[in-house]
Chain A
Amino acid sequence: MTHRQAVIVGGGPAGLAAALRLKEKGVSDILILEREKLLGGILRQCIHDGFGLTRFGESLSGPEYAQRFIDRVEEAGIESITDCTVLDVSADKVVTAVSRAHGLMQIQADAVLLTMGCRERTRGALATPGTRPAGIYTAGVAQNYINLQNIMVGKEIVILGSGDIGLIMARRMTLEGAHVKGVYEVQPYPSGLPRNIEQCLNDYGIPLHLSHTVVDIRGRERLTSVVVAQCDERFRPIPGTEEEIPCDTLILSVGLIPENELSLAATVALDPRTRGAFVDEHCQTSVPGIFAAGNVLHVHDLVDFVSLEAEALAAGAAEYLLTGSLPACPLEVKAGQGIGHVIPQHISGTRDFTLSLRVRQPMNSVSIVVRQGTQEVLRKKMRKALPAEMVQLPVKVARLTTTADMEVYVE
């Protein structure tokens, strides 16, 4: 067994940003383990622009955004092993990994940084009835085929779900000559960002059907049609509204789930709201010395915020490694009325911190309120609040007056 100060599981945007900040903070013995052949994570296939607007003040493609971090990681001499699968992370921070080049490795880490990102929900999670023909892809898989492997997925396309990747792929497939017949979303509002509805659907005349879902999938070898239907407010298809749509391809963009199998193996406690770890303001999980940030913690809509969160993680992990401990975080932060989830779930109450949260449903002219006991800590007015947009609230410790738990809610 070898020993490392910090092992980073996943070399995507979160892992790369965390590695760099760790190094800057004086941690030198860092190893990044990456499953793919190249660093960069999902950004490698996100060739559209719009990345880096907050971080770099310019609109970059995903590969360019990733390369800026990869170049710096290489310049800093930070070690990474690609084409390497992490099999297990134990509660005492032994990382077991395997790669063709290195065989089976066991590494005792002082700190483990979980930056594995997220996975897409699949047809199985929706339990859509019908046959099981070829031609059904999640949006990210279609994106991988088209943008990395030069394989076109189909010609006549229906998209189920209005997540951002599905919207981006609607435009991408249209540019590559496919006919995207429509996007069907079970919720009465889109789950992707408004600008993507505009520039990916409206620009190309692709219709968005809200409160609709796919109720049947037809075809033997290859998909030949799907049946869509309108849904009521409880997402139940309304009989008599069915319409059969001939198509050869169905793209699913129906949500992302933090990829936490390794976190569970390490006995990290998960929050059912985010499906990621419970963390404190240092991004430390319920297991001391194991940290999590990025999409493995909660699904983000902008990579710029993933990088920022990973840097906050690295600041915490560096303090843990260099001083041997972190300030206790006894105060709980609860997601109240109208809030889907809030990160971190625990804070020290002795330092400034930033809350990341999402609202449950679209609302106009609301305030997001942070309250400690009966004391109002912060109030942010919003003209509109959408579940598609993550909200960040920096909180100054001077605003905290008691040691009571905190609640965040919509008013």
Chain B
Amino acid sequence: MKRTFTCIVCPNGCEIDAEYEGANVLSVTGNLCPKGKAYVTQELVDPRRTIASSIRVEGGTLPLTSVRLTSAIPKDRIFDVMKEINAQSVAAPTHIGDVVIRDVLGLGSDVIITKNVDRA
């Protein structure tokens, strides 16, 4: 089988032509680095993505603080994780790196705060 992938690992956005059988990558061309081949391999068996969103802040100088995942989760679980994130709120102040949900839905990724919001 042949398929062209756009690597999303870095801003180079390499267009990678891959030949594969099932989950076996036979050849890749067009990638500037080894991460491209790893991306294609992962994409064939278990495509994963990170997401970023926001959660409500009580008593802060801003109504929201931002959050992101510390590692990629299976693509088909994105909306499940969004539901978990949307159920959260925190009290000000918020600090970059604080964990809001550890190991969200048992997927091995934490939801962490990415913005400092002071108390109002």
Contact = CB atoms under 8 A, between A and B. Distances in A.
Q: Are these two chains actual partners, yes or no?
A: yes
B52 A67 contact: no
B8 interface: yes
A60 B113 CA distance: 11
Contacts of A199: 8, 49
A384 B15 contact: yes
A50 B9 CA distance: 9
Contact of A194 (B13, B66, B67): B13
Contact of B116 (A49, A67, A149, A383): A67
Interface string B60-103: 00111011100000010011001000000000000010000000
A47 B68 contact: yes
A49 B68 contact: yes
Contact of B30 (A48, A197, A383): A383
A92 interface: no
A383 B8 CA distance: 18
B40 interface: no
B41 interface: no
Contact of A53 (B11, B50, B62, B75): B11
Contacts of A54: 11
A147 B15 contact: no
A61 to B, nearest CB: 4
A69 to B, nearest CB: 13
Mostly, the A contact residues are mixed
A24 interface: no
A203 interface: yes
B11 A47 contact: no
Contacts of B51: 175
A64 B96 contact: yes
A50 B54 contact: no
A50 B10 CA distance: 8
B101 to A, nearest CB: 16
Chain B, interface residues (CB within 8 Å), range: 20 to 34
Nearest to A63: B115
A301 interface: yes
B109 interface: no
A367 interface: no
Contacts of A149: 63-64
A193 interface: yes
Contact of A195 (B11, B78, B79): B11
A175 B78 contact: yes
A61 B66 contact: yes
A153 B98 CA distance: 29
B70 to A, nearest CB: 10
Nearest to A386: B13
A198 interface: yes
B82 A175 contact: yes
Contacts of A175: 51, 53, 78-79, 82
B54 A193 contact: no
Interface string B34-60: 000000000000000111111010000
A36 to B, nearest CB: 12
A57 to B, nearest CB: 10
Given A49-B50, A193-B13, A194-B15, A63 B8 contact: no
B50 A203 contact: no
Contacts of A301: 11
Nearest to A50: B11
Contact of B7 (A47, A195, A383): A195
B42 to A, nearest CB: 14
A104 interface: no
A47 B66 contact: yes
A150 B54 contact: yes
Nearest to B66: A47
A198 B6 contact: yes
A389 B78 CA distance: 28
A212 B116 CA distance: 41
Lowest 10 A-B CB distances belong to which pairs? A47-B66, A194-B13, A195-B13, A63-B115, A61-B114, A198-B6, A195-B8, A150-B63, A199-B8, A48-B52
Interface of B: 6-8, 10-11, 13, 15, 30, 49-54, 56, 62-64, 66-68, 75, 78-79, 82, 96, 114-116
